[in-house]
Structure 1
Amino acid sequence: MLSGHSAGRKEFHVNEDYDLFVIGAGMAGTTAANKCAAQGWRVGIVDALPYGGTCALRGCDPKKILRRGAEVIDAARLMQDKGIAQNGLSIDWAALMRHKRGFTDAVPQGMEDELTGNGVMTFHGSARFTGPNQLEIDGTEHRAKHFLIATGARPRPLSFPGHEHLIDSTDFLNLDALPPRIVFIGGGFISFEFAHIASRAGVDCVIIDHGDRPLREFDPDLVELLIQRTEQTGIRVQLATTTTRVTRTATGLDVTVDQGGKTFTIGADLVVHGAGRVANLDGLNLDAANIASGPRGVTVAGHLQCTTNPAVYAAGDAADTPGKPLTPVAVFEGKVAASNMLKGTTTTPDYTAVPTTVFTIPELNRVGILEHEAGNSGLDIDVRHNDTSGWYSNYRVGETTASAKIIIDKATDRILGAHLLGPGYGELINIFGLAIKLGLTSRQLKSMTATYPSIGADLGSML
């Protein structure tokens, strides 16, 4: 049937009502859609991109597959003169990319099949709100009692001349070949992780960060060690440096930068945008549904309901919540939003002790609070800081850069934060996360008997 729009206005075909309509088929959106459909709700979901979201298709998962090639190269180099002859060992980028696509290519259909198997109606196209309880997809209007905005994030817009010459993280993860020189703009996860991959593939890499310290959410002592290790790998790290222009030349690209009032140019064949991301809300026509939003996403209360339209919830990177922009956070926000919609409750997600890792080589990890945060809060803390580079688990693999900093509350002996830099520490950080979540003391954690020799066996010595 046709909607009751007045003469002269665009008419839409109106589809039947839904209990929930989800915008965005990433981890937050599909989690909520499946959960609500399982409870008998009529659910619709839409995405303009292939189903799967950033993590599975354009982020975490493909990145770590590519990192595996870099890990092998680095492991061989560390064991040079220790029993391993490299004999021309190198990354075949095209073959490694095929290995990546062996995973990512199957994701969209697999995810859509799961949704439809659970009774969710799936749509492909761009959605825009046309009212407080309705949206339009390619000329068809859909009404729903509830909406979940889970559209994720996109690269932050850049304004310097020549920014259009940059590629983003999605483009990088689809490169069929790597050029000789790559410049990464920004000092965050994307730049460091991708540079560590590309460098092991023989690329001359430069990271440009406008601040004086990159990866600011991580322990500064460990970040400094990572920078040293990064530069030992052959990657140049330019700090306190502002990109002012990117110019295409006959031989590639010139990146003009300012460092302390001095201007110079860095030559590149490719320039990658790693200077942050913002909520992906463009084109949703939020004003038509009275949906408030800001730079960090849809404005929501603690229980993920929009503050200005009670029919709307938001989760993941599209929501302005205290949670970090991480896939596990998107998943549990999607679960909480779904539960609150189903039950009419106001449960708030628990963001306690969510670990985060920069998958450089070696990886940098954090869970809980930083040392200065503990000090600023007035807590009496014990900081157990160890250089672990000479410990057996690192000696075994030839790694010479590794460190651990554990923050303990003296009054309760509980672990408040853990900060780790070292090979395999991306697994070890999860144990510290569990300890913080459960309120375990350092004595309790030290009482664990770990299999030996394993990285987990280092935990007791770190405490």
Structure 2
Amino acid sequence: MLDTYDLVVLGSGTAAQVASSRARAADWTVAVVDHRPFGGTCALRGCDPKKMLVSGEEAVDAVRRMRGHGVEGDVRIAWPDLMAFKRSFTGPVPGKQEQRYREQGIDAFHGLARFTGPDTVTVDGRELKARHVLIATGARPVTLSITGEEHVATSDDFLELEALPARVVFIGGGYIAAEFSHLAARAGAKATVLQRGARMLPGFDPDLVGWLMERFDDLGIDVRTSTTVQRVEATDRGYLVHAVAGGREQTVAANLIVHSAGRVPDLEALDLVAGGIVLEGGRLKLNEFLQSVSNPRVYAAGDAAGSGPPLTPVSSHDAKVAAANLIKGNHAKPDYRGVPSVAFTVPPITTVGLGEAEARERGLKFRVKSEKVPQWFTARRLAERIYGFKTLVEEDTGHILGAHLVGPHADEVINLFGLAIRHGLTAADLKETMFAYPTGASDIGYMI
């Protein structure tokens, strides 16, 4: 006998939670399936626990910057205690989420799901029949395809370290490498970043990344760009990472190697062929409504869909779109305008909207204002020398096309630029706004 549902959701993260809740509120019968603890990447293995650890890093950095400016003494990161602080948040999440499902009348299954037909999935030998399926399984680290890859830890592993090793090597130069190398260096480890590309943080403005790299230097982080890792070798003292840069071989010793070379939709275990679900370029082939083009019973949301930026707010947005289309028929389309992105280095670097190169490629007419401004009060009061911005304003309309910030409070201020982009506010609108002073937001008028 089959267990039959209106909707079976694969995954239990942000997208899964939003969509399952909305379907249940519409009186649908709903099941969720996940082989990992309920809660998803953001709450358990990503944004939230990472930011908990960054809190300790921020405190240490603040004291060090203010030394000689009225603050005395030394501080350090107590790694086990910081991890315990993180677990005070992540530990209860799976149980709380499972309780929410029970309270909502959603059936929750622990196990690895795979399709057995266009409208059936199996979970540990139990078959579920679904009128619709939502794929919300998140993302996984991209395969490195190097010898010794089995010795490379994931960001998940890093977030569960009981003790921080003395030497940490990061393969890749994106968010994970930038954020975790800052944390590791401030906690006392020797951090090395091996990045295949010509610079770190390729999704952010190159000028601002250049300013931020001064902090990498301050922390003693060894950043090697245009460097390709070829293999990892285990030794009796740890590991050796073998790489090539400029035609020359180099070797880096490590006690821990962390994968930070990007992620892809986590779809491999689902047996999509059995479900009649087509991939294109390793991603689900979806229409504009986040619906599978080959199996109309199936929708996708979040990182698994790969439709928008791989960010938690996008997962929530996708889930609302997918749920609306499931419940009322296809009519809603995702809208990714004005979604900010932040790398939580200390200080943070942010971006929203178009980059300068992209705006020029589109042939848009715009004015650019860009400056490194450590002399501004926002930076001076914190003894922070890394503070700068770049904004793009369309000539004819005055609309904000893009904004890029690095420095204190950038992770909060960027949201106001995102608001402007999404809702069509102009530079004049922002200039006329009376922000509380002195705050990071009160600098906006001078940035445009």
TM-score class, shorter-chain normalisation, is: over 0.9
Q: Which residue of 2 aligns with 1:436?
A: 421
Q: CA deviation at 1:345?
A: 2.2
Cα offsets for 1:247-299 (capped at 9, x unmatched): 11121111111110111111111110001111111221110111012455321
Aligned partner of 1:264 in structure 2 is 250
Alignment of 1:213-292 (within 5 A): 213-292=199-278
Q: CA deviation at 1:41?
A: 0.3
List aligned pairs for 1:293-308, cutoff 5 A: 293-308=279-294
Q: Is it true that 1:65 corresponds to 2:52 in the alignment?
A: yes
Change (3 A) 1:117 1:430: same
- Alignment partners' CA distance in 2, 1:336 and 1:86: 52
Q: In 1, distance between residues paired with 2:283 and 2:314?
A: 15
**1:359 alignment partner in structure 2:** 344
Hey, what does 2:73 align to over in structure 1? 86
Which of 413, 416, 436 is residue 451 of structure 1 equivalent to? 436
Corresponding residue for residue 9 of structure 1: none
**2:18: which partner in 1?**
31
For the aligned residue pairs, the C-alpha RMSD in angstroms reads 1.0
Name the CA distance, whole Å, in 2 between partners of 1:341 and 1:311.
Answer: 9
Q: State how far apart, in whole Å, the 1-side matches of 2:154 and 2:334 are.
A: 31
Q: Which amino acid aligns with 1:170?
A: D
Other-structure match for 1:7: none
Shift of 1:346: 2.8
Instruction: Provide the C-alpha distance between the structure 2 equivalents of 1:366 and 1:86, rounded to a whole number of angstroms.
Output: 35
Q: Normalising by structure 1, what TM-score? A: 0.95
Equivalent-residue separation in structure 2 for 1:199 and 1:182 (angstroms): 9
Match of 2:311 in 1: 326
- Could you list the per-position Cα deviations for residues 152-210 of structure 1 after superposition, in whole angstroms to 9, with x for gaps in the alignment? 00111111111111100000000000011100000000111001111110111011101
Structure 2 Cα separation of the partners of residues 37 and 142 of structure 1: 17
Indicate the residue corresponding to 2:394 in structure 1: 409
Q: Which stretch shows the higher mean deviation, 171-180 or 245-254?
A: 245-254
SS across alignment from 2:269: coil
Partner deviation per Cα, 1:426-455 (whole Å, 9 max, x = no partner):
000000000111111111111111111111
Query: 1-side partners of 2:439 and 2:305: how far apart?
Result: 39
Query: For structure 1, which segment, 78-87 or 206-215, has the greater mean C-alpha deviation from structure 2 after superposition?
Result: 78-87
Name 2:361's counterpart in structure 1: 376
Aligned partners of 2:335, 2:101: CA distance in 1, in Å?
26
Q: Is the 8 A contact 1:125 1:138 kept in 2?
A: yes
Partner residue of 1:143? 129
What one-letter code is carried by the residue in structure 2 that aligns with 1:42?
T
- Structure 1's unaligned 5+ residue stretches are 2-13
AA aligned to 2:237 is T
User: By how many angstroms is 1:69 displaced?
Assistant: 0.8
- Equivalent residue for 2:383? 398
The code of the aligned residue for 2:270 comes to L
**1:377-403: CA deviations, max 9, x gaps?**
111110011222110110000110111
1:98-134 Cα distance to aligned partner (Å, 9 max, x none): 0100000111111111122111111111111111111
Alignment of 1:17-56 (within 5 A): 17-56=4-43
Task: For 1:70, give the aligned amino acid.
Answer: E
The yes-or-no answer on 1:186 pairing with 2:172 is yes
Secondary structure in structure 1 of the residue aligned to 2:309: coil
Q: Deviations over 1:230-258 (max 9, x none)?
A: 12221111000011111111211111111
Match of 2:411 in 1: 426
Aligned length: 448
Tell whether the 8 Å contact from 1:147 to 1:313 is kept in structure 2 after alignment: yes
Structure 1 residues 356 and 447, CA gap change in structure 2 (3 angstroms): same
Partner-residue secondary structure (3-state), 2:403: strand
SS state of the match for residue 61, structure 1? helix
**1:423 shift after superposition:** 1.3
**Counterpart AA for 2:220:** G
Structure 1: distance between partners of 2:379 and 2:214: 17
Matched residue SS, 1:288? coil
The question of whether the paired residues in 2 share the 8 Å contact of 1:299 and 1:320 is answered with: no
Q: 3-state DSSP class of the match of 2:270?
A: coil
SS of 1:158's equivalent? coil
Structure 2 residue matching 1:135: 3-state secondary structure: strand
Amino acid at match of 1:446: K
Correspondence for 1:200 among 186, 204, 214: 186
Give the CA deviation at 1:86: 2.9
Q: Provide the rounded CA distance (Å) in 1 between the counterparts of 2:115 and 2:171.
A: 34
Are 1:460 and 2:417 counterparts?
no
Partner of 2:112: 126
Q: Could you tell me which amino acid in structure 2 is paired with residue 326 of structure 1?
A: L
Unaligned 5+ segments in structure 2 are none
| Distance across 2 between alignment mates of 1:25 and 1:296 | 22
Q: Secondary structure in 2 aligned to 1:19? A: strand
Shift of 1:225: 1.2
Question: TM-score, normalised on structure 2?
Answer: 0.98
In structure 2, give the amino acid aligned to 1:53. G
Output the CA distance in 1 between the equivalents of 2:279 and 2:332.
21
- The correspondence for 1:210, drawn from 185, 196, 207, is 196
Change (3 A) 1:296 1:395: farther
2:299 aligned residue:
313
Contact preservation (8 Å) 1:70, 1:91: yes
Runs of 4+ aligned residues of structure 1 deviating over 6 Å after TM superposition are: none
SS of the residue 2:445 aligns to: helix
Matches within 5 A, 1:9-24: 14-15=2-3, 17-24=4-11
Is the deviation greater in 225-234 or in 377-386?
Answer: 225-234
| CA distance in structure 1 between the aligned counterparts of 2:254 and 2:169, rounded to whole angstroms | 6
In structure 2, distance between residues paired with 1:207 and 1:276? 14
* In structure 1, C-alpha distance between the alignment counterparts of 2:306 and 2:339, rounded to whole Å: 17
Q: Alpha-carbon deviations, 1:341-396, whole Å to 9, x = none?
A: 00012311111100000000110100000011111111111001122211011000
